[in-house]
Amino acid sequence: MSAVRLSLRDLSVAIGGRKVVENLSLDMTGGNLVALVGPNGAGKTSVLRALVGLLAHEGSATLDGRSLSALDRRERAQRVAYLPQGHEAHWPLPARDIVALGRVPHGAGDPTRLRDSDAALVAEAMRLTDTEHLADRPVTQLSGGERARVALARVFAVSAPVILADEPTAALDPSHQIAVMKALRRAADRGALVIAVTHDLGLATRFGDTIAVLKGGRLAASGPPAEALSDAVLRSVFGVEAFRAEHAGSAVLVPWA
């Protein structure tokens, strides 16, 4: 099976009459983790929201040659799994039932009566996110970090070829930040295209195959971490200098001054 391919051509997004993303062109394929980085207000979240149909856009976004806009809602939900920012819960559903919502695009109904195949995917998603012990607890009783991991498990349960994750580590402690990025990395290694918005340049450098840097809604740099997060890019886009090293075979980047 060939790798999934997501192509953006001159993608532009306007909110309130102001363009927040302008003429973004990128080609991304399955088997890769793409870290989408940039200062606050650079347009990162707007890109993801446009790809899942929550924001109108100009230009084109095609998945394996088909326009995302032409897919019906169910097919788009099967092929593109989305983890938004924030994980508020208003109903005291067990965490397992929240994760089971990831199977709804594939025809699952009552989360307490899943097909064996759906139940197996839910269990695996919870294992990958270290949420198995939370399965029977109401999500309204979980901490913010625990809810974040349950939400990511729901995304994994979709088994979509494209995963869009908006700041998936924002509410997590360091141990779970690394665990979540490792889980996203494994999803990419299994063939998914993972696009993760993050402000953590260190995690982006360690786990990303490609870094796409946005500034003012435009693509400022794109490529392997060392190229896309060069000293010149860090200065011009983020206004920082960085400490660089290597540890256990992985690049280390820490914004320093």
Q: What is the pLDDT of residue 218?
A: 97
pLDDT of residue 110: 80
* Domain that residue 223 falls in: 5-255
Per-residue pLDDT reduced to its tens digit, 227-237:
999 999 999 99
pLDDT in tens, 63-87: 999 999 999 999 999 999 999 987 7
Quick check: 145 pLDDT over 90?
no
* Selection from 165, 201, 197, 170 nearest residue 183 by Cα: 165
Please answer whether residues 92 and 141 qualify as being in contact, where contact means their C-beta atoms are separated by less than 8 angstroms: yes
User: Residue 226 maps to which CATH number?
Assistant: 3.40.50.300
Query: Can you count the helices (H) and strands (E) in the chain?
Result: 9, 12
Q: Is the dihedral of CA 26, 35, 156, 153 positive or negative?
A: negative
Please report the sign of the dihedral spanned by the C-alpha atoms of residue 139, residue 89, residue 140, residue 108.
Answer: negative
35-44, 105-114, 187-196, 221-230, range with the lowest pLDDT? 105-114
Residue 1's pLDDT band (boundaries 50, 70, 90)?
Answer: low
Number of domains making up the chain: 1
